[in-house]
Chain A
Amino acid sequence: AQRVTQPEKLLSVFKGAPVELKCNYSYSGSPELFWYVQYSRQRLQLLLRHISRESIKGFTADLNKGETSFHLKKPFAQEEDSAMYYCALRSYNTDKLIFGTGTRLQVFP
């Protein structure tokens, strides 16, 4: 079975502080991992995908298969990063895309 766990419901930091949003997954096959973000009153949109190993808006995430984790990191948080962040898993051989419970990031000035 596929499962995604995000242990923190809320993460509050001050501007300029480092941020790490945790994500752990459970899946027996080859997973595709994503981070989606939902800014206030906007639609859900992709932030990062593990397969491209890119940095978007200063965020990075590394897939650790040994620890079954895909934590999202940013060295210096900005106020505009305040949003809801969802870790998502898609199985490689089906189109089933499921989401973790989400972490709300609040960045204070």
Chain B
Amino acid sequence: DTEVTQTPKHLVMGMTNKKSLKCEQHMGHRAMYWYKQKAKKPPELMFVYSYEKLSINESVPSRFSPECPNSSLLNLHLHALQPEDSALYLCASSQVQGGGTEAFFGQGTRLTVV
């Protein structure tokens, strides 16, 4: 299984809502990533988890809260988002550190904040 699965595929939420994005992989990868991608723009790194610990936070606002409950799962909890947070959120996983290892990407969750 070389897939990264993200749920839901689409999400519409109000600015006062709380929701979560989920990501799952069963490739034994110990590095997992969240990216944000706006239309016609490249993926922008948000968070990196290595061995289930948060290793990189790219100064992301606290209304985005990542969680890595185990080596296969990655969540992104959303609260009090703004309309400008509407984007495609991508999850990825890879082996850790070095060796030219490939990052596998999910299809993404398309988030609309209203």
Contacts and interface: CB of A to CB of B under 8 A. Distances in A.
Interface of A: 32, 34, 43-46, 49-52, 86, 90, 92-102
Interface residues of B, number: 25
B102 to A, nearest CB: 4
Contact of A86 (B42, B56, B97, B106): B42
Interface of B: 31, 33, 41-45, 48, 50, 55-56, 90, 92, 94, 96-100, 102-103, 105-108
A51 B48 contact: no
State the 7 A-B residue pairs at the shortest beta-carbon distance, nearest first: A51-B100, A99-B42, A44-B105, A95-B31, A49-B100, A46-B102, A102-B42
Contacts, number: 60
Contacts of B45: 96-98
A96 B48 contact: yes
Contacts of A92: 97-98
Contact of A97 (B99, B103, B107): B103
A47 to B, nearest CB: 10
